[in-house]
Chains A and B, each alone.
Chain A
Amino acid sequence: MPSRFRRVLSSSVGTKLLMGLTGAALFVYMLLHLAGNALILAGEDVFNEYSHMLISNPLILPIELGLLAVFLLHVYKAVTMWMSNRAARPVGYLKKELAGHTSRKSLSSSTMIGSGLFILGFVVIHVKQFKFGTFYQVTDSTVRDLYQTEIEVFQNPFWVTVYVLATLLVGLHLRHGFASAFQSLGLDHPLYTRRLTALGVLFALLIGVGLAVIPVWVYFRY
């Protein structure tokens, strides 16, 4: 008998539980990330203060490592799952229609692997550009001027386009992912299950469009 741990990692249902759990964690992170980044609209000082508060906190490293682990687990499980799911149907159909009726299949649900892989690539660039990007200092202090870095990146219409695309894809990913995580985790009740899809759309718009606004705002402001 394989151990419980191995079982959860490898079985189809265990995989879904992990996807749901890591997905939910990443969703919460995205909400915080949006809230934090929205501070850029409040101006240079507020934003730099906020980012300084984050990086000067000794807990930030363990939290970042945890986030990285959750992210990598989500990606790893998604890719292996996608491959075994493809292997489950070696011969396809000549004609396959949407089932309609009660099906929740959507553009979002059919493109999870694509939107996910794009976001993966984007995250690498994004972290490199900001966390490990040009280090400016606020005059007469040790505080990092992240605001300056942001203006620098979003001066370039190419990066603005990439960022808008990526954040909208995050929204598309969440459109299915939000409700799907509940279902995978077995959180299902007549009280809320029917509302989850609508709530997913709402969060998708909030996070997707909310984040997309930032590069556009910076671009037109400077």
Chain B
Amino acid sequence: MRIFLKVWRQATPRDRGGFVDYTAENISPDMSFLEMLDVVNESLIVKGQDPIAFDSDCREGICGTCGFLVGGVPHGPDPGTSVCQLHMRRFKDDDRLVLEPWRARAFPVLKDLVVDRSAFDRIIQAGGYTSVNVGGAQDANLILVAKTASDKAMDSAACIGCGACVAACKNASAALFTSAKVAHLAFLPQGQPERATRVVAMVERHDAEGFGSCSNEGECEAVCPKEIPITNIAHMNREYLRAMLVTRD
């Protein structure tokens, strides 16, 4: 296969950057999208040029490290798929694809397609954990968790923190990410003690990082590699309302 690429190149965070055209040749349809970029990069290195920088780690869709826009869609056109799990058979020979980094004030570009997502870490640091010291492991049946609750918590916890939701949102809002983390703990008994302070602190951090607010369009949900639904956002808003109206501390 042959693919024409238009890739965002930016040497440093302060560099102005711009798009550069590349041709990916001799691509197997069985390659993943990142493997295709590896091939391009090898040819660049041979020519003594700087390879295209992009993030990746597990390359099996579970770590959340990879991510950029492929042809105008975060993680590319396949639903529920991170870009490392996107395969070249999805495209046609001689397709033209634009590759761009996530764009958000809170996600400054570090290099080419790599952005700094530490804003997500700071949202977690603001409250996405439980600070109760639980001691040694206790009997699993001591705290009963309903199957439905544990299932829902697991669904929300499936968020891998990739940032595609922010990239897709017209407001660069991280509402989906934040809400997944809020909901995941709100479903479980372990999350109850800090339930109210958590949602308030995480929302505050979310705003301070410069993310926008949610317009309820659901573009995030549609690009999310883990298909985290925006019902999580409704849940977060409910938690927030509860924290504001009935929580006393």
Whole-angstrom distance between the Cβ of A12 and the nearest chain B Cβ:
4
> At the interface, yes or no: B124 with Cβ under 8 Å from chain A?
no
Q: Are B237 and A186 in contact (CB under 8 A)?
A: yes
Q: Are B240 and A87 in contact (CB under 8 A)?
A: no
Q: Are A88 and B244 in contact (CB under 8 A)?
A: no
Interface hits, B27-53 → A, CB 8 Å: none
Of the listed stretches B55-63, B96-104, B133-141, B155-163, chain A binds B96-104
Of the listed stretches B85-93, B187-195, B213-221, chain A binds B213-221
Interface hits, B201-215 → A, CB 8 Å: 203-204, 206-207, 210-215
A12-B173, A84-B213 in contact; A186/B72 too (CB < 8 A)? no
> At the interface, yes or no: A193 with Cβ under 8 Å from chain B?
yes
Provide the bound-state CA to CA distance between A100 and B235, in Å. Answer: 23
Q: Are A179 and B216 in contact (CB under 8 A)?
A: yes
Closest residue of A by beta carbon distance from B231: A188
> At the interface, yes or no: B230 with Cβ under 8 Å from chain A?
yes
Q: Beta-carbon contacts of A9-26 to B below 8 Å, as 1s and 0s?
A: 011111111000000000
Q: Are B171 and A109 in contact (CB under 8 A)?
A: no
Q: Are B241 and A193 in contact (CB under 8 A)?
A: no
- What is the interface of chain B mostly: helix, strand, loop, or mixed? mixed
Whole-angstrom distance between the Cβ of B198 and the nearest chain A Cβ:
13
Q: Are B104 and A88 in contact (CB under 8 A)?
A: yes
> At the interface, yes or no: A195 with Cβ under 8 Å from chain B?
no
Whole-angstrom distance between the Cβ of B37 and the nearest chain A Cβ:
18
> What are 6 A-B residue pairs whose CB atoms fall within 8 Å in the complex?
A12-B207, A89-B104, A94-B6, A95-B72, A99-B73, A187-B234
> At the interface, yes or no: A127 with Cβ under 8 Å from chain B?
no
Provide the bound-state CA to CA distance between A178 and B170, in Å. Answer: 20
Provide the bound-state CA to CA distance between A93 and B69, in Å. Answer: 9
Q: Are B215 and A109 in contact (CB under 8 A)?
A: yes
| Contacting residues, chain A, for B206 (C-beta < 8 A) | 12
| Contacting residues, chain A, for B213 (C-beta < 8 A) | 12-13, 15-16, 81, 84-85
> At the interface, yes or no: A64 with Cβ under 8 Å from chain B?
no
> At the interface, yes or no: B153 with Cβ under 8 Å from chain A?
no
Residue count of chain B within 8 Å CB distance of chain A: 52
| Contacting residues, chain A, for B98 (C-beta < 8 A) | 94-95
Closest residue of B by beta carbon distance from A179: B216
> At the interface, yes or no: B19 with Cβ under 8 Å from chain A?
yes
Whole-angstrom distance between the Cβ of A100 and the nearest chain B Cβ:
6
Q: Are A14 and B240 in contact (CB under 8 A)?
A: yes
Provide the bound-state CA to CA distance between A13 and B245, in Å. Answer: 14
Whole-angstrom distance between the Cβ of A57 and the nearest chain B Cβ:
32
Give the residue of B19, B104, B170, B237 whose beta carbon is less than 8 angstroms from that of A16.
Answer: B237
| Contacting residues, chain A, for B233 (C-beta < 8 A) | 183
> At the interface, yes or no: B3 with Cβ under 8 Å from chain A?
no
> At the interface, yes or no: B200 with Cβ under 8 Å from chain A?
yes
Q: Are B244 and A14 in contact (CB under 8 A)?
A: yes
Give the residue of B210, B217, B218, B234 whose beta carbon is less than 8 angstroms from that of A186.
Answer: B234
Q: Are A103 and B216 in contact (CB under 8 A)?
A: no
> At the interface, yes or no: B175 with Cβ under 8 Å from chain A?
yes
Whole-angstrom distance between the Cβ of A189 and the nearest chain B Cβ:
9
> At the interface, yes or no: B180 with Cβ under 8 Å from chain A?
no
Q: Are B215 and A94 in contact (CB under 8 A)?
A: no
